[in-house]
Amino acid sequence: MSTRAAELAEVLYLQGRYGEAEDFTRISEEMGAGDDVETQAKWRAVRALVFARKGKVAEARELGQEAAARAETTDFLYLLGDVYFYVGEAALLSNAVSTAVIAYKKSLSFHEQKGNVPSANKVRSLLEKIT
């Protein structure tokens, strides 16, 4: 259930429903087991995006770093690709372009390793726009 709450937070964020997205990151945080890497990484990554949109740059950066650190403990390439994409987006929203480029390049690498062509193309397109 905690992972589904994190996934719902992700969908709500993508729909521009930032307040609801943050609410579902809190549900995921409260319900998730500490060793559930996917849940722990996802809710942090989505909340980082919400905080970046709110101008809470330091909090967004910290959550993004925590999300990436959690994801890095796995070999779940799709999770790694998604988390680094969100870390990049949060950095870009915070005007940290060089940090965004680094995160997007990591995201691209993980999506390419997984063979996730649509996501790799999306990241590649974003990289072309900001570099």
Is 90 within 8 Å of 56 (Cβ atoms)?
no
Residue-wise pLDDT for 72-101, tens only, equals 999 999 999 999 999 999 999 999 999 999
The pLDDT value recorded for residue 46 is 98
Number of domains composing the chain: 1
Residue 52: which CATH number? 1.25.40.10
* Cα distance between residue 99 and residue 7, in whole Å: 24
Work out the number of other CB atoms within 10 angstroms of the CB of residue 123.
25
The pLDDT value recorded for residue 122 is 97
The pLDDT value recorded for residue 17 is 99
Backbone angles phi, psi at 36, to 5 degrees: -85, 90
Residue-wise pLDDT for 104-121, tens only, equals 999 999 999 999 999 999
* Cα distance between residue 56 and residue 108, in whole Å: 26
Residue-wise pLDDT for 18-50, tens only, equals 999 999 999 999 999 999 999 999 999 999 999
For the full predicted model, state whether its pTM sits above 0.85. Answer: yes
Q: What phi-psi label fits residue 36: left (phi over 0), alpha (psi between -120 and 50 degrees) or beta?
A: beta
> Residue 59 belongs to what domain range?
2-130
Work out the number of other CB atoms within 10 angstroms of the CB of residue 99.
18
